[in-house]
Structure 1
Amino acid sequence: MASERLEKKDHVSVAETASGEPTGSDIVASYLPLVDFLAEALGPTAEIVLHDLRREEHSMIAIRNGELTGRRVGDATATESALRMVRRAEERGKSYMANYFGQPAGEKILRSSSYFIRDEDRSVVGILGINVDLTQLLAARQTMDRLLALSEADPAGGSLPPSIASLFPGRPGAASSPDGALPPPESSRDIEHMVYSVLDRVLSACKADPVRLTAREKREVVDELNARGVFLLKGVITEVARRLAVSEQTIYRYLKN
Structure 2
Amino acid sequence: MREALTAERDAILAALKPVVDGIAATFGQVCEVVLHDYRKPEQSVVAVAGSVTGRTVGGAMSEIGMRVLSHGDEAADELNYVTRTRNGTLVKSSTMVLRDSAGAVFGALCVNVDVGAVSQVHGLLGALAGLGAAPAELPTTTFGNDIDSVVDALVDAHQSKQRGSWAELDRAERLELFGGLDTRGVFAVRGAVEQVAARLGISRASAYNYLSQARAARSAAAGISAGGHA
| TM bin (shorter chain) | 0.5 to 0.7
1:36 aligns with 2:59: no
How many pairs align?
147
Partner in structure 2 of residue 174 of structure 1:
none
1:1-257 matches, cutoff 5 A: 26-66=11-51, 68-74=52-58, 76-88=59-71, 90-91=73-74, 94=76, 96-102=77-83, 104-146=85-127, 148=128, 167-169=130-132, 189-192=134-137, 252-257=177-182
Separation of aligned partners in 1, 2:80 and 2:9: 33
The change in CA–CA distance for 1:25 and 1:111 in structure 2 (over 3 A counts) is closer
Separation of aligned partners in 1, 2:10 and 2:88: 40
1:191-234 deviation per Cα after TM superposition (whole angstroms, max 9, x unaligned)? 43x67xxxxxxxxxxxxxxxxxxxxxxxxxxxxxxxxx9xx8xx
Q: In structure 1, the residue corresponding to 2:135 is in which secondary structure?
A: helix
- Code of the residue aligned with 2:68 in structure 1: it is M
The change in CA–CA distance for 1:87 and 1:56 in structure 2 (over 3 A counts) is closer
Separation of aligned partners in 2, 1:69 and 1:111: 11
Asked whether the 8 Å contact 2:37–2:45 carries over to 1, the reply is yes
Q: In structure 1, the residue corresponding to 2:79 is in which secondary structure?
A: strand
Separation of aligned partners in 2, 1:25 and 1:249: 41
Shift of 1:81: 3.3
Q: In structure 2, the residue corresponding to 1:54 is in which secondary structure?
A: coil
Separation of aligned partners in 2, 1:250 and 1:24: 38
1:46-102 deviation per Cα after TM superposition (whole angstroms, max 9, x unaligned)? 110001122343221111112x2222222x11124312223325125x3x1112233
Shift of 1:43: 2.2
Separation of aligned partners in 2, 1:105 and 1:83: 17
Separation of aligned partners in 2, 1:250 and 1:25: 39
Asked whether the 8 Å contact 1:86–1:116 carries over to 2, the reply is no
Normalised by the length of structure 1, the TM-score is 0.48
Asked whether the 8 Å contact 1:48–1:128 carries over to 2, the reply is yes
- Code of the residue aligned with 2:112 in structure 1: it is N
Asked whether the 8 Å contact 1:51–1:61 carries over to 2, the reply is yes
Structure 2, unaligned stretches of length 5 or more? 1-7, 140-153, 163-171, 183-230
Q: Which has the higher contact order (CA 8 A, sep 6+)?
A: 2
* Structure with greater proportional helix content: 2
Shift of 1:42: 2.1
1:86-142 deviation per Cα after TM superposition (whole angstroms, max 9, x unaligned)? 3325125x3x11122335141201111111111222211111001111111111122
Q: In structure 2, the residue corresponding to 1:51 is in which secondary structure?
A: strand
Separation of aligned partners in 1, 2:88 and 2:31: 16
Q: CA RMSD in A?
A: 3.3
Asked whether the 8 Å contact 1:109–1:133 carries over to 2, the reply is yes
Structure 1, unaligned stretches of length 5 or more? 1-22, 150-166, 170-182, 184-188, 196-228, 238-246
Separation of aligned partners in 1, 2:83 and 2:37: 20
**Which is higher, the Rg of structure 1 or of structure 2?**
1
Separation of aligned partners in 2, 1:82 and 1:56: 8
1:130-173 deviation per Cα after TM superposition (whole angstroms, max 9, x unaligned)? 11111111111223234x25xxxxxxxxxxxxxxxxx444xxxx
Shift of 1:252: 4.0
Q: In structure 2, the residue corresponding to 1:138 is in which secondary structure?
A: helix
Separation of aligned partners in 2, 1:56 and 1:24: 15
